[in-house]
Homo-oligomer: A and B are copies of this chain.
Amino acid sequence: MSDKFISRAVIKRLPRYYRYLGELMENNIERISSKELSERMKVTASQIRQDFNNFGGFGQQGYGYNVEYLYTEIGKILGLTKTHNVIIVGAGNVGRALANYADFGKRGFVFTALFDIDISLKGTKVGDCPVFHVDDMESYVKENDVEIAALTLPKNNAPEIAAKLVSWGVDAIWNFAPVDLNLPDDVLVENVHLAESLMRLSYRIKEKD
């Protein structure tokens, strides 16, 4: 499937399908039609069928999709069947929130280390995640299989630290710093720009008034 082009919009919707299917499983629902799924998710049934056809359709029969099968298959597509090691750079509130958030672990994202410039935090733990000093980050990344680095540090340091992490072997950056990192095109970056999200809300409030 990876040789086929899947649009960004579809990829954006997949995690949402995955979340809904997880909720259905929690509620012991075994089968669901695209119509029912569409009503719950507020997208059209034809959109759902079209999205799923990108991946072979998941074999809906007259009586609907098998929820667990669909959940498992979408999990495979999203790469959630393997473990992803994640480090967190910056032990402020956001970094600590990530380290404490057990839900990520259920999806195979393991926060293996948290790094901070504050030497007094060295040797402590946030949740199950040990805290190291940033000076130890280079050797840690080179010696361990770190796929993702979450950047939860001030914006001024973020681009330089990101470039170093990539040069040491990190594959992907999950960036919470309010700055563009300007990394080479082959580096995967997912930005979480909270201020921008809030400004979009403010725009919509203004337009509504």
With A19-B178, A199-B80, A201-B174 as contacts: A97 and B93 at CB distance below 8 Å:
yes
Q: When the two chains form their complex, are residues B178 and A147 in contact, meaning their CB atoms are under 8 A apart?
A: no
Judge whether A11 is part of the interface by a CB distance below 8 angstroms: yes
Interface residues of A in 75-131 (CB under 8 A from B): 77-80, 84, 92-94, 96-98, 100-101, 103-104, 107-109
Give the Cβ gap from A180 to chain B, nearest Cβ, in Å: 8
Give the Cβ gap from A202 to chain B, nearest Cβ, in Å: 4
Q: Can you list the 8 inter-chain pairs with the closest CB atoms, starting with the nearest? A: A93-B97, A79-B206, A15-B196, A15-B199, A79-B202, A190-B201, A94-B97, A188-B204
Q: When the two chains form their complex, are residues B203 and A109 in contact, meaning their CB atoms are under 8 A apart?
A: no
Chain B residues with CB under 8 Å of A199's CB are 14-15, 18, 78, 80, 107
Give the Cβ gap from A162 to chain B, nearest Cβ, in Å: 14
Task: Write out, one digit per residue, whether chain A residues 153-189 have a CB within 8 A of any chain B CB (1) or not (0).
Answer: 0000000000000000001101000101010001010
Number of interface residues of A (CB under 8 A): 56
Judge whether A16 is part of the interface by a CB distance below 8 angstroms: yes
Give the Cβ gap from A174 to chain B, nearest Cβ, in Å: 6
Query: Residue on B with the closest CB to A99?
Result: B93
Question: Copy number of this protein in the oligomer?
Answer: 2
With A19-B178, A93-B96 as contacts: A104 and B203 at CB distance below 8 Å:
no
Chain B residues with CB under 8 Å of A14's CB are 199-200, 203
In the assembled complex, the Cα of A206 lies from the Cα of B81 at a distance in Å of 10
Known contacts A15-B199, A190-B204; 16 additional CB pairs below 8 A are A15-B193, A15-B195, A15-B196, A19-B178, A78-B199, A80-B199, A80-B202, A84-B205, A93-B100, A98-B194, A104-B198, A148-B201, A174-B197, A188-B201, A190-B198, A192-B194
In the assembled complex, the Cα of A2 lies from the Cα of B208 at a distance in Å of 9
Give the Cβ gap from A133 to chain B, nearest Cβ, in Å: 21
With A19-B178, A205-B172 as contacts: A195 and B80 at CB distance below 8 Å:
no
